[in-house]
Chains A and B, each alone.
Chain A
Amino acid sequence: MLDFEAMIAAIGPEMLLALAGLLGVLLGAVFGDRFNSLSFKFGAASLIAALCTVLLNWEGGEAFNGLVTTSPFVNFAKVVSFGAGAVTLLMGENFLKRHETIRYEYPLLVIFASMGMGIILSASNLMTLYMGIETLSLSSYVLAAFHRDSMRSAEAGLKYFVLGALASGILLYGISLVYGFVGSTSYAAIADAEGGIGLLFGMVLMISGMAFKVSAAPMHVWTPDVYEGAPSPVVAFFATAPKMASMVVFANLMFTAFPGVFEDWQMVIAIIATLSMIIGAFGALIQNNLKRLLGYSSIANMGYALIAVAAGPEYGAAALLVFMTSYVIASIGLFGGVLAMRREGGMVESIDELAGLVRRRTGMAIALTILVISVAGFPLAVGFLGKLLIFEAGWNAGLLPLLIVLVLSSVLAFGYYLRIILVMWVREPAERFQPVDAMVTTAIYAAAAACIALFIFIGPFADWATSAAAGFYQ
C-alpha cells in the first residue's frame, strides 16, 4: 500500500513538475502559437510552485521502497535550482522573441529538465539516478540546439549530445559494475557492501560520468563550445540550475553510497579538482568571448566546489551549499549581462564590447562589477565567504596541496576578472547597447544586491546551510 503523504514529501515537487509539463504539452497542442508567450510565465510559475512544495516538505522522506529519499541537504539544492530555473526562464523570453524562436516547447523542456534535476537529487538508488540524469540530459541537448537554424546552436547541441551520450555510457557502465559486484543498486546497500576492486572500478567510472555533468576537467571539453554556441538564455540556465543540482548530487552520491571507500574517491576527486582549477583558470585567461570566458570560469569554480566534496561530508557539505549558491546567484547576474549586450544588428559577445559601460549605463556597470567581484572571490560580496568556507573545509580535511592550487588559481583568475572590470571602467565607451529588457535588468540588480546582502547576512544563511547538511554529521 502506498503511503501517500510520505510520497508527496519525497517526490511531491517532481510530480508537480511532471504534471505541469504534461499540462503544458496539452495547452500547447490546443492553443498552438498563442500559448508561446504565456508558456514562459506558466513555466516559471510551475517552477516556483515546485520550489514552494520543496519548502513545505523540507524534512523530506522516503518513497517507492527506497528508490527516492530526500533530505534537507538535497532540498536546499532543489530550492536553488528551481529558483534559478524560473529566473533564467523569464530572463530569456524577450531574447527568444527577438530571434523569432519563441516557442512553448522551450519552457516545457526547462520544466522537464528541472524535473530531472529533482529526481537525481532525490535519488537513493542508482536506477533512479540514471533515469533522472537522462531526463535532464535529453532536455538539455534539445535546449542547446534550440536555435535550430543557427549553425552554432546546432553544432553546440550535437557536440553536447555526442559527448553527453558518451558520458552517460561511462556512467551506466560504472553503475553496472557496481551492481555486478554489490548485487544491489541501492545507495544504502552499496555503502554496506564490502568494497572490492570491482566496486572501485565502477565507482571511478561513475565519478567520470558525474564529472562530465558538472563540467569538471578532464571531462570539461564540451563546456566552452556549448557555452559559446547555445542560445544565451539556455546557457544562463545550464550555468546555474543543473550545475547546482549535479554538484550536490555528486556530493550526495559520494557521501551516502561510498562512505566506506572515502580515501579512494577523495584522491580521485582531488585530482579532478586540481585539473579543473588549473585548466579553468588558464583557459579563461586567453578568452575574448565573454560566454567562453564564463565557461572556463565555471570549470575553475567547479574545481573549487569539488574541494568541498573531497573534504568529505563532515567538513565540506555546508561549505558546498554556500559556495554553489553564491556561484549560482553571481552567474545569473553575469548571464543577465550577456543578455543585455545587444546592439543594432544582433547580440555581441566579445569582452571588448563592454568598453566604457560605466559611462553608458552606470548602474548596470556597477552591478556587473559587484557580480564579477563576487565570482572572483574578492571581499565585499558573498563569493569571498563561499571560497573562505571552502578553504576552511579543505584545511580541516588536510587537503593542503589543493588549497595551494586554489589560491594560485584564484590569483590567476583575478587576471581575467580584473580585465572585465577594467574594460567596463577604463576604456573609451563603445556604442550604446540597445534598451535592455526589464526582466534582465531586474535580474542583474537583484543578483548584485543578493551578493552584497548575503555577504552581510552570511550568518543566518550559513546556519541554514549547516542545518541542511546536519544529516551528515551523525
Chain B
Amino acid sequence: MGNFPILSAVIFLPLAGAVLIMLVRAMTGSQENDVATGNKALTAGLIFSVATFLASLVMLASFDMDAEGYQLVEEVSWFANVQYKLGIDGMSLMLILLTTLLTPLSLIASFGSVKERLTEYTIAFLVLETFMIGVFCALDLVVFYVFFEAGLIPMFIIIGVWGGADRIYASYKFFLYTLLGSLFMLAAVVFMYLQAGTSDITQLETFAFAPEVQTWLWLAFFASFAVKLPMWPVHTWLPDAHVQAPTAGSVILAGVLLKMGGYGFLRFSLPMFPDASQFFQPMMFALSVIAIVYASLVAWRQTDMKKLIAYSSVAHMGFVTLGIFSFTEVGVQGAIFQMISHGLISGALFLIVGVVYDRMHTREIAAYGGLVHKMPVYAAIFMLFSMANVGLPGTSGFVGEILTMTGAFQASTWAAAGAALGVIFSAVYMLTLYRRTVFGQVTNPALEGIKDVSVKELITLVPLLIGTLLLGVVPNLVFDVTRESSLRALQMITGG
C-alpha cells in the first residue's frame, strides 16, 4: 500500500459521491421530485457507500492487530500547531467498520420508503458518513471537534426534512442540546491546546495536566459526551429525535452517533485525565445504573415502538459507561463490544419497526397484534433481534452485557447488581413489545392485507442478523482487534 492515504480516502469517498451527485443533478437541471431520478441518485449513493465499505475492509486487511499505538497515520500541517492528523487503533477501526456497514444498509432501507427529495436525502447521508468516519479517525483535537460538530448539520437536516410530524421541534432539540454540550468541550480543547502547545492527541495522552485542571477538563468533555451518548439525565433529546427521524436516520443515530460518546470517553477522558476519571468513577457508576434501570422502566411504559427502542438504547449505553469506568480489561473490552453489538441490534430493531411502519404508517404498539399469522418470516427475525437486545446467550448482546457487568463487579458490587436488574427489565419490556405486536389474534382489520418482509428488507436485515449471531458465537473477532487499544487506555489510567 505504501504511502497511499487510505484513511483520507475512506473518509472522503462518500463526500466525493455526494459532490458528484450534486453536480449531475445541477447539470441535468432536474428540479422535479420524480421518483425515478431520485432512485438513480439513491442507487449512486448506495454504490459509493458500498465502495466505502469495501475500502474500509482494505483498511482492516492492512491493520496489524498486534501492533501498539496508532496505525496508518497521516499527518499534514493545517495551521499554527494544529495538524490534520489521522490514525486508527483497534477500537476506532471497529467503529469505522460499523459505520461503513450501517450506511449502505440504511440507504437500501430507504428505497421505496422515502419518497420525497431523494437526491438531497442521499447527499445528506453521504456527507454524514464522511463526518462520522472522520470522528473515529481524527488524531488531532481540533480535527476531531470539527468532524464531531459538523455531523450535526446533516443529521439536523435529515430529521428536519424527512422526519415525522413533530420534526422541527425534534431537530432543534437534537441540535441545540448537542451543541451546548460541545461548546464546553471546545473551550476545553482551546485550553488544552494553549497549555500543551499542541492539539495532537498522541502527545496530549502523555501530557500530564494538573489534577485540579483535569477535573474541569474532564467535566467539559463529559458535558459533550454525556449528551451524545446519551446519559441520564441529559437523554431527553434522544426519544424525540428517534421518533421523528426517518427509519434510516434512526439507524444511523442509534447505530453510530451514540457511539461517539463512548468513543470519546475512551479516547480522551481516560487517557488524558486519568486522575479525574478515577475521581468521577462513583458518579459515572451511579449515572450508568440510574440510566439502565430508569430507562428500562420508562421503555416498558411506552406505547410507541420507536420510543421504546430509543429508551432501550439509553439503557444499553449505560452498560457502555459502566464497562468503561470499571477500569478493568474485561469491562473496557466489553464496553467496546457492547457498542458494536448495540450498533447492529438497535439498527436492526429500527429497521424492523420501519418495515411495519412503511406498511401501516403508525408506530403505535396498540395498532398491531397477531403479526405472526400474517408475517411469519418477519416474526422470526423480530424474535431473534428481541432476544439479542435482551442479551440471550449466543447473540452479541449477551457478550457485551456479561463482560461489562463482570468488569463493573470487580469495581463495585452494587453497580453490577443494579445493572443486573436492568437486564431483567430489558427482558420485560422487549418481551412485552414482542408479545403485543406479534402474538395474539389479528384485531386491527387494517392488518388483514399486510405483506411479509420483501427481498429488499431481507437484504438490510440479514447482514445484521449474521453479524449479531457471529459475534455472539465468536466474540474474539472483535476482541482480537480491540485488545491492544483497550489495554493501552487502561495502562494510561492505572499508570502501569
Contacts and interface: CB of A to CB of B under 8 A. Distances in A.
Contacts of B1: none
Contacts of B161: 425-426
SS class of chain B's interface: helix, strand, loop or mixed? helix
A392 to B, nearest CB: 6
B175 A373 contact: no
A411 B177 CA distance: 10
Interface stretch (B76-84, B331-339, B420-428, B441-449): B76-84
A358 interface: yes
Contact of B77 (A378, A403, A459): A459
Contact of B149 (A358, A378, A385, A403): A378
A459 B153 contact: no
A458 B175 contact: no
Contacts of A411: 176, 179-180, 183
Given A359-B33, A366-B22, A411-B176, A378 B153 contact: yes
Nearest to B26: A363
B120 interface: yes
A385 B84 CA distance: 14
Contacts of B150: 378-380
B78 A459 contact: yes
A462 interface: yes
Interface in A432-474: 458-459, 461-463
Nearest to A459: B79
Given A392-B190, A422-B168, A425-B161, A379 B149 contact: yes
Contacts of B80: 459, 462
B146 interface: yes
A463 B120 CA distance: 37
Interface in B157-189: 157, 160-161, 167-168, 171-172, 175-176, 179-180, 183, 186-187
Q: Binding site of A, secondary structure by majority: helix, strand, loop or mixed?
A: helix
B280 interface: no
B281 to A, nearest CB: 29
Given A379-B150, A414-B175, A388 B190 contact: yes
A358 B167 contact: no
A357 to B, nearest CB: 12
Contacts of A410: 183
Contact of B160 (A366, A403, A422): A422
A360 B31 contact: yes
Interface in B87-122: 117, 119-120
Nearest to B187: A407
Nearest to A462: B79
Interface string B183-202: 10011001101100000000
A418 interface: yes
Nearest to B76: A459
Contacts of A415: 176
Contacts of A418: 156, 172, 175
A35 interface: no
Contacts of A462: 79-80
A391 interface: yes
B26 A425 contact: no
26 contacts: A359-B117, A362-B31, A362-B120, A363-B26, A373-B153, A380-B150, A385-B79, A388-B190, A391-B187, A391-B190, A392-B190, A392-B194, A396-B194, A403-B187, A407-B187, A411-B176, A411-B180, A411-B183, A421-B153, A422-B168, A422-B172, A425-B157, A425-B160, A459-B77, A459-B78, A459-B80
- What 9 pairs across the A-B complex have the smallest Cβ distances? A459-B79, A379-B146, A458-B79, A379-B149, A380-B150, A426-B160, A462-B79, A379-B150, A407-B183
Interface of B: 22, 25-26, 31, 33, 77-80, 117, 119-120, 142, 145-147, 149-150, 153, 156-157, 160-161, 167-168, 171-172, 175-176, 179-180, 183, 186-187, 190-191, 193-194
Given A378-B153, A407-B183, 20 more contacts: A362-B22, A362-B120, A363-B22, A363-B26, A378-B150, A380-B153, A388-B142, A391-B190, A392-B190, A392-B193, A396-B194, A411-B179, A414-B176, A418-B156, A421-B156, A422-B160, A422-B171, A426-B160, A459-B77, A462-B79
